[in-house]
Amino acid sequence: MPHSFFNLYSHDFARVSVAVPRCRVADPRFNAAETVKLARQAAANGAALVAFTELGISAYTCDDLFHQRALLDGCLAGLQTVLDASQSIGAALIVGVPLRVDHQLFNCAVVLSGGRILGVVPKSYLPNYGEFYEARQFSAGDEALSAEITLLGQRVPFGAALLFEAENVPLFKFHVEICEDVWVPIPPSSFAALAGATVLVNLSASNVVIGKADYRHQLVSQQSARCLSAYLYSSAGRGESTTDMAWDGQALIYENGELLREAERFQDESHLIYADVDLERLSRERMRQTTFGQSMRRFGDELARFRTVRFALDLPRRQALPLDRHVARFPYVPSNTAQRDKRCNEVYNIQVQALVQRLSSSGIKKVVIGISGGLDSTHALLVCAKAMDRLNLPRTNIVGVTMPGFATSARTLLQARQLMEFVGCAASEIDIRPSCIQMMKDIGHPYSEGAEQYDITFENVQAGERTNHLFRLANFHNGIVIGTGDLSELALGWCTYGVGDHMSHYNVNASVPKTLISHLVRWVAESRQFGERDSAVLLAVVNTEISPELVPGKADDGAPAQITESVIGPYELQDFNLYYTLRFGFAPSKVAFLAHAAWSDRNTGSWPNEAHVARNEYALKDIKANLGIFLRRFFQTSQFKRSCVPNGPKVGSGGSLSPRGDWRAPSDSEAVVWLDDLKNVPDA
C-alpha cells in the first residue's frame, strides 16, 4: 500500500470540484443524467465535493413553467436519480432544484452524500430587477415556516443557516448559498464563515453580459479573502434558453483571494474544474488574524442560528493522490513575469522609502556599507543609491568599502570594485589581513604562528574585523552602517553574532530572502537601470557561487572556495521551508509534501517562468535531509541571534524575523517536536 504521505488528504487538503452540465430546459431526466455523469467523473478523480449550477435539474430559464406540476414532479424524479447514484459516489454533491415547501416554491440547493439527503438550502435573496423576475415564481428562504421537511422519504434540515461537516476530513465544513446571495452587501456566507465554514459554495445561473465575468472574479475573490475561505462558484452554460439572455458557463474556485482554477467559458459540452483546497491554511489564517475571532463574538446571535449536519465521506485514502495544485518553487517570488517585475519594483521602493525615512529623521546624510561583490551587499548598495537619489544627495555620500581577507577571490574583489565604480559611491579598499593576524596573535590562535587552522574563530575574526572597520568609518564620516544580511541567513543563523555581519545601524535587507534578492539584482540588470555594461556586472554577481569567503581554498581559479550551500543546504529549498514554516506554521511533514509537489521531477517544465532560475530537481530524500538542517538551525540553534537584530523594514507578507515584528520566540527552545514530525516523511 502506498505511504499515506503521498495522499493529499493526509495533509489537510480537500479536492473540490465545480461542474457545469449541459442542460435542456424543462427536461429533468436529461439534466439528472448529465449531473450523475459529471459526479462520477469528479469522484473518480478524488473529489470530496462537487457543486453544480443553480436549478440545474430543471434549468434556470423555465420562467412560469416552474408552476407546472409536471415539471416539479419531474424534478423530484430527477433528484431521486441523483440520490440513488450518490450511494456509489464517494463525494458530496450539491445540486439545484425547485422544491415545494409549505405551499410555497423555493429555489433550492440540495446536499447529497452516500444515498442520504443531508440538507436543503433555499435561496435567501431573490433578484427582481433588470432581466430577473424570480419573485414572480419563488419565495425567499426566510419566508419558509419549516426548519425540517420530508423529501424523497427522508426527514431533512431545511434553511439557509446550515453547515455541512465531514467527520473524517478534518477542517472540511461547507456552506451553500445561491447566486444573488453573494451579490448583496452582507452575504449569508459571511456569517457561515464566522460560524466555521471553511468552504463556501455558490450555485449560480448568472447570465453573461459584457464585463460580468470580470466582476464575478472580483466578487468571488473578495468574498473568499474577506471570509478566509475557499469559494466555489458555478454559473449556467450551454442549454439554457437564450430567449432574452446568454450564458457562459463560468466556473471559479478561489482560496483566500487567490484563483486556483477557472473553467474555459462558452463551452458546448458539460465540463468540470478541480482544485485542491488547503483547509489547514484557512484555519491558521483565521487563528492568526484575531479580528476574525472578534467578529465571531460580535455576531454571536446571528451565528447561533446555524445548525451543523455531520456526515462521512468515502474518499480514496489508500492510494497515492498527488497534489493537483501549483506550488511555487519560489514562494517569495511571483512566477508571472509581469507580476515579478511589479514585485521587484515594490520591494525596492519599500526598502528605499524606509532608508530615506531613517536618514531624514536622524539628520544623517551619509551611509557606510561593506561591499563583498556578492548578492546581498550588491542589492543593499543599489538601495542606498536610490535613497540618495530620492534625497537629492550625491551618491558619494555612500561610503563603500571592500575589505579583502584571507579567502577573498579575485572574482568577487573585481565585482566589488566594478559595483562601486558604476554606482558612483565613495569607494575605498581596506586589507583586513594585518589586523586579523594581530587579533589572532592577541588571543593566541595557531594561525598567527603559521598553522592552517581554519576554525570558527578564524572565520569570525575576519567577520568581526570587517564590522569593526565599518562602525569606526561610520563614526569618522558621521554616517550609519547599512546592514546587508538577508532573511534567509537570519533564519539559518548564518551570520556572525554581535561584532560581525549580524550587526549594523539599519539593515535594509532584514526581511528579504536570498531567492528574492537574486531576482531583484537580476531584475535591475535585465531592465538596464544602470546601463548595459553595468548590467553585465550585476548578472555576474547573480551567477557567482554564494560564499562568506572566510576559509581559503587550494584551487587557483579565481572563484570562491567556500560554498555556503554545501553547509546549510540550497537556498532555494531553505527559503521554501522558511516560507511555509514562518508564514503558516505548517508541520515539517506538510512542508515536505509541498516541496515534493513543487520540486519533484514530475513538475519539470510545468512552470517555465520558474525553470530558468531553478538549478536542480530534488528527490524526496534530499528534501527531507535539507529540511532537517533547517529545523535544527531555525528552532534550536539560531534564535538568540534573532532576538536582538537591528532595525529594518518588513517587506513581504511572508514575514520577518524581528522580535518587534512577526516572530517572537525563546532563544533556548528545542527542535524535538519538529524533528519527530519529520520522521513521518519517507525517504523515497
What would the pLDDT profile of 246-255 be if each residue is shown by its tens digit?
Answer: 999 999 999 9
Q: With residue 548 as reference, give the H or E element that holds it.
A: none
Distances (CA, A) of 397 to 139, 390, 624: 73, 13, 47
Has 514 been labeled as part of a binding site?
no
H-assigned helices in 374-497: 375-390, 410-423, 433-443, 456-477, 487-492
> CATH 3.40.50.620 spans which residues of the chain?
337-679
pLDDT of 3 reads 76
Q: Is residue 122 pLDDT above 90, yes or no?
A: yes
Has 37 been labeled as part of a binding site?
no
**Residue whose cell numbers read 553595468:** 534
pLDDT of 614 reads 47
pLDDT of 609 reads 47
Using alpha carbons only, what angle is made at residue 246 by residues 242 and 252, rounded to the nearest 5 degrees? 140
What the block records as the C-alpha cell of 631 is: 529545523
Is 441 known to be catalytic?
no
pLDDT of 528 reads 84
Has 496 been labeled as part of a binding site?
yes
Read off the pTM. Answer: 0.94
Separation CA 250–CA 230 (nearest Å): 17
> CATH 3.60.110.10 spans which residues of the chain?
4-311
CATH hierarchy code of domain 337-679:
3.40.50.620
pLDDT digit string, tens, across residues 274-284: 999 999 999 99
Is 54 known to be catalytic?
yes
Is 644 known to be catalytic?
no
Q: Is residue 201 pLDDT above 80, yes or no?
A: yes
Q: Is residue 658 pLDDT above 80, yes or no?
A: yes
User: What beta strand segments (E) does 221-348 contain?
Assistant: 230-234, 251-255, 258-262, 271-278, 307-311
| In the chain, % of residues over pLDDT 90 | 90
Separation CA 156–CA 144 (nearest Å): 14
Instruction: State the DSSP string of 347-359.
Output: HHHHHHHHHHHHH
Has 372 been labeled as part of a binding site?
yes
Separation CA 590–CA 278 (nearest Å): 11
* Beta pairing partners, 254: 231, 259
Has 489 been labeled as part of a binding site?
yes
Separation CA 677–CA 589 (nearest Å): 6
**Residue whose cell numbers read 449550477:** 53
Neighbouring residues of 322: CB distance < 8 A, sequence distance ≥ 6: 6, 8, 597, 602
Distances (CA, A) of 633 to 491, 498, 569, 654, 659: 8, 18, 11, 19, 17
Q: Name the active-site residue from 23, 179, 344, 425.
A: 179
Separation CA 191–CA 193 (nearest Å): 5
Q: Name the active-site residue from 123, 173, 386, 624.
A: 123
Backbone angles phi, psi at 246, to 5 degrees: -130, 165
Average predicted confidence (pLDDT) for the chain: 94
Instruction: State the DSSP string of 505-536.
Output: SEETTTT--HHHHHHHHHHHHHTTTT-HHHHH
pLDDT of 1 reads 44
Q: Is residue 605 pLDDT above 90, yes or no?
A: no
Has 249 been labeled as part of a binding site?
no
Q: Which CATH architecture has domain 4-311?
A: 4-Layer Sandwich (3.60)
Neighbouring residues of 242: CB distance < 8 A, sequence distance ≥ 6: none
Cβ atoms of 166 and 127 within 8 Å: the answer is no
Has 674 been labeled as part of a binding site?
no
How sure is the predictor about 446, in pLDDT bands with cuts at 50, 70 and 90? very high
Closest CA to 521 of 370, 646, 383, 363: 383
Separation CA 355–CA 253 (nearest Å): 40
Please report the sign of the dihedral spanned by the C-alpha atoms of residue 665, residue 669, residue 673, residue 679. Answer: positive
What the block records as the C-alpha cell of 644 is: 536582538
